[in-house]
């Protein structure tokens, strides 16, 4: 049986704007097809922070201009972001497969709902940055006029934050399982469309789920061998950005937990990745999580670089 890899794509795999995304996915698709050539059944997940913010702003502006057009719920904006990002990725991966003469692998995007707990305290404490970066002045204006909550994001500027509850269940899991191994599946985009039970109906929740958390859950549920989080750094570091910074190559779940408890990983960026990696790695012996640079995915899976986390 072929090995199975779940690849979670970070912001640098997609860019921040429509033109940037169109260019970025070309490079990203090369990385993905490299893993197909390395012999893996590949499942792709991705973030949506910049995209869901852009869509939500556009829809809000539309309803401000036309009061007959009610505002679009954030859950619907997540659904729109899955389709838009899936479209660009499908197109670029298909092209890359054909360029390498791989003609028997179909690519599809699964619109994915993810159930969250409506009592999750995260609904009362928005933490997930979405949309574009703002100056402090712009952020204050948005808070006053659009009822946004904004925070300063790791020295990079101000961003709107929304609730980010934990994923409980991937609603389309069975459908995804039926496709894995037969197709290259893109799913759980933007952490999934957040939904809560309403009888047999699933109602959208106003939130954006962390894609690394949902990807970890997916990787465990589909019995992946490897979970790769692709981001903008080649390895995870302790004392990150300090003179005594030290890159981590191979660490156990226990060591990763210890570093996290010491506060080595920034909340909102590296901490959710390490937590998601731990959760996957500890779910079964033999499962490895890797955090590395987008461009180094193949070397990462071959054990040549990246930070590897295992039991």
Contacts with ligand CP by CB under 6 A lie at 10-11, 47-49, 190-191, 208, 210-211
If one asks whether residue 265 binds ligand ADP (CB under 6 A), the answer comes out as yes
* Cβ distance to ligand CP smaller for residue 128 or 310: 128
Contact 193, 204 (CB under 8 A): yes
What crossing angle do the helices spanning 253-261 and 270-281 adopt, rounded to 10°? Answer: 150
* Active-site position among 49, 53, 191, 211: 211
* Cβ distance to ligand CP smaller for residue 19 or 243: 19
Tokens at 125, concatenated: 């404490």
The minimum distance between CB 14 and ligand CP, in angstroms, equals 8
The minimum distance between CB 82 and ligand CP, in angstroms, equals 10
The minimum distance between CB 249 and ligand ADP, in angstroms, equals 13
CA distance 217 to 279: 8
DSSP letter at 305 equals S
Segment 100 to 119, residues that bind ligand ADP, using CB under 6 A: none
* Cβ distance to ligand CP smaller for residue 131 or 306: 131
Contact 221, 2 (CB under 8 A): no
Tokens at 74, concatenated: 């954030």
Residue nearest to ligand ADP (CB): 10
Contact 26, 99 (CB under 8 A): no
* Cβ distance to ligand CP smaller for residue 7 or 97: 7
Tokens at 199, concatenated: 């009888």
Catalytic status, residue 68: no
Beta-carbon-side half-sphere exposure of residue 228 (alpha carbons within 13 Å): 32
If one asks whether residue 236 binds ligand ADP (CB under 6 A), the answer comes out as yes
Catalytic status, residue 273: yes
If one asks whether residue 228 binds ligand ADP (CB under 6 A), the answer comes out as no
Other Cβ atoms within 10 Å of 250 Cβ, number: 12
166: helix, strand or coil: coil
Which residues of the chain form contacts with ligand ADP (CB under 6 A)?
10-12, 47, 231-233, 236-237, 240, 264-266, 269-270
Active site residues: 11-12, 128, 211, 273
């Amino acid at each position: 049986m072929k090995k199975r890899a779940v690849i979670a794509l970070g912001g640098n795999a997609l860019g921040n704007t429509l033109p940037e995304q169109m260019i970025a996915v070309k490079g990203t698709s090369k990385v993905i097809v490299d893993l197909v050539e390395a012999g893996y059944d590949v499942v792709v997940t991705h973030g949506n922070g910049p995209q869901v913010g852009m869509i939500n702003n556009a829809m809000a502006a539309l309803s401000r201009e036309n009061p007959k057009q009610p505002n679009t719920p954030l859950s619907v904006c997540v659904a729109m972001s899955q389709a838009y990002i899936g479209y660009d990725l499908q197109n670029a991966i298909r092209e890359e497969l054909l360029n390498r003469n791989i003609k028997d692998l179909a690519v599809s995007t699964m619109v994915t709902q993810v159930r969250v707990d409506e009592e999750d305290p995260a609904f009362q404490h928005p933490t997930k940055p979405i949309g574009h970066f703002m100056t402090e002045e712009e952020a204050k204006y948005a808070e006053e006029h659009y009822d946004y909550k904004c925070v300063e994001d790791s020295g990079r500027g101000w961003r709107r934050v929304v609730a980010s509850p934990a994923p409980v269940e991937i609603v389309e899991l069975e459908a995804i399982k039926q496709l894995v191994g037969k197709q290259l599946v893109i799913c759980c985009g933007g952490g999934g469309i957040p939904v809560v039970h309403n009888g047999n109906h699933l109602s959208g929740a106003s939130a954006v789920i962390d894609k690394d958390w949902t990807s970890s859950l997916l990787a465990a549920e589909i019995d992946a061998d490897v979970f790769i989080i692709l981001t903008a750094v080649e390895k995870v570091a302790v004392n990150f950005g300090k003179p005594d910074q030290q890159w981590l190559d191979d660490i156990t779940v226990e060591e990763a937990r210890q570093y996290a408890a010491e506060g080595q990983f920034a909340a909102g960026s590296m901490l959710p990745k390490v937590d998601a990696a731990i959760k996957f790695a500890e779910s079964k012996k033999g499962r490895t999580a890797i955090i590395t640079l987008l461009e180094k995915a193949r070397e990462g899976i071959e054990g040549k670089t990246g930070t590897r986390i295992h039991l």
